[in-house]
Amino acid sequence: MKFKSYNNLSFKKTDYYNRLPPKEKEAFDILSTVFHFKTNNYVLEKLIDWKNVETDSIYRLIFPRKEMLNPADYEQLTLMHKAGISMESLGPFIETIRKKMSPKLKYPEKSIPKLNGLKLQGAWQNFGTIINLYPDPMVKTCHAYCSYCFRWIMFKNTEVQNSNSYSDPNTPVEYIRSHPEITDVLFTGADPLVIKADKIKEYIDPILAIDSVKVIRISTKSLGWWPYRFTTDSDADELLSLFEYIISKGKHLNICAHVTHVKELENEIVQKAIKRIQATGAIIRCQGPIVKGINDTAEDWINLWNKQIQLGLIPYYMFVEAEHNSENCFRIPLAKGLNIFQTAQKQATGLARTVRGPVFMNDHHRILIDGVITIQNEKFFVLKSLQAPPNTKGEGSLKLIPYDENTKDPGDLVALFSEDYEKELTY
C-alpha cells in the first residue's frame, strides 16, 4: 500500500466522509478546524469499522469529539456553521480557542538540561539516567494524529517546533558525554519514524559513539498507524538495517510502541511488521494511555495485553491520560482507572504481571497509583514514585492522597514528592 495522507479538507472529499452519520459530519466540520486532523488510507481502509463509527475505538482514536471543546465555544462554532459561515474563514477566532486550550506544563524549566549555563535546545530530562531528544525533523508530524494527543499544539506550528527541537545532530553529544550517568537516549517526536531512514541515522549515529549510552529508545505509533513503515515503504529495509546497525554497536534497541487498542495489532500487515522488527534483535515494549470511550474497560486491556504477549511484545505501561487540554475530556476518574488495571491484570496472562499502571506521564516523577488503603476508616490512594529526579524524594517512595471516587486530579505531584514537602496528612 502506498501512503496517502488526509487532512480535514481532503477527507471531506472521500466516500468515508459521506458515510458519516449527520451528527458526526457536523462535529467533524466544526472540530477539525480547531484540532489538527490527519489520517491515512491504512487507517481508513483497514482499521475503522465504518458501520459502527459512533462506538468504534479506532474512529474515536482519530476523529475529534464534541467534548474536546468547552460547551460555549462549541455552541458558538455550531451557530456559525449552521449560518453557513465557512469554518476555514475563522482563523483568528480559532487561534484564540486553541491558545486557551493549550496543555500547560507546570515546571517546564526544570526539565530542560543546561550546558555551560545555556539551555540545551531540543532536549528534555526529568530523570538522571535518561534524556529525551527532539531532532527537528522528528517533531513535525506522525502518520496519523490521535484525538487525545497532548502534543497537538505543536502540529503545523513551526514556531513551537523550532524552539523545541535541534537540527545539528551533534547538539546533545557534549552534554551526554559529560553526564555518564545517562544510560538511555530516547528519540521522540511527534513520530520519529515518519522521516527517512538515512535521516534518522544521521541523528542516532553521534549518540552511538558515546560509550556510557547503553540503550537507544525510539518512541513511535507507526505499528498502529502505518505498519508498512517496516514492510513495503521504499526505505523499510534500510530502516530495519539501521536497527541492526544500532544493535551491532553494542546498544540495546527498544521500540517504545504506542498501542492504544487491540485492533491495532490484529491484522496480518502489522503482525508481519512486528516479526520484521523482532528479527533485527530490537525489543518492542508497549505503552498507551487509558482513555475515555476508547479503551476504558477491563476487557479492552485483557485483550490488548494477551495479544501483545502472544505476539512477543512486552506490555510496559498503562498511562493516565496526559491532559490533552483544559477540557480534560479523555481522562477517566483515577479510581476507575485503577480498578480497570487491577481487574485486567488478574485476568490476563500471568506474563502481563510486569506491566505497570496507571502511571502519570506528564509530571517530573513517574508516579504509579499503586492501590487504595483504608486507615482509621478513611480511604487513600497509595502513590509510588517509579522514577524521580535526582534532587527529590527517591524512587520507590510512597505517598498517600485522599481517596475520591470521582477525582481525575491527584494535585501537584511534583510538590507532593519533593524533598521539602511538609504537608502532613491528618487522619
Residue ranges binding ligand SF4 (CB under 6 A)? 142, 145-146, 149, 151, 190-191, 221, 258
Look-up: residue for cell 506528564?
362
Q: CB-based burial of residue 109 (10 Å sphere; 0-12 exposed, 13-18 middle, 19+ buried)?
A: exposed
Q: CB-based burial of residue 418 (10 Å sphere; 0-12 exposed, 13-18 middle, 19+ buried)?
A: middle
Kindly state the smallest distance separating residue 142's Cβ from ligand SF4, in Å: 3
Q: Which is nearer to ligand SF4, 139 or 335 (CB)?
A: 139
Q: Which residue is nearest to ligand SF4 (CB)?
A: 149
Q: Which is nearer to ligand SF4, 69 or 149 (CB)?
A: 149
Kindly state the smallest distance separating residue 241's Cβ from ligand SF4, in Å: 24
By residue count, the chain amounts to: 427
Kindly state the smallest distance separating residue 361's Cβ from ligand SF4, in Å: 11
DSSP helix/strand/coil, 147: coil
Phi, psi of 152, rounded to the nearest 5 degrees: -55, -30
Alpha-carbon distance values, 22 to 29, 68, 154, 341 (Å): 11, 19, 30, 36
Q: Which is nearer to ligand SF4, 61 or 413 (CB)?
A: 61
- Report residue 311 as a C-alpha cell: 505476539
Q: Which is nearer to ligand SF4, 145 or 381 (CB)?
A: 145
Helix (H) or strand (E) holding 299: helix 298-310
CA 193 to chain centre: 14
Kindly state the smallest distance separating residue 148's Cβ from ligand SF4, in Å: 7
Kindly state the smallest distance separating residue 349's Cβ from ligand SF4, in Å: 27
Strand partners, 387: 366
The H helix count followed by the E strand count for the chain is 17, 15
Q: Which is nearer to ligand SF4, 191 or 300 (CB)?
A: 191
- Report residue 301 as a C-alpha cell: 486491556
Kindly state the smallest distance separating residue 48's Cβ from ligand SF4, in Å: 16
Q: Which is nearer to ligand SF4, 35 or 243 (CB)?
A: 35
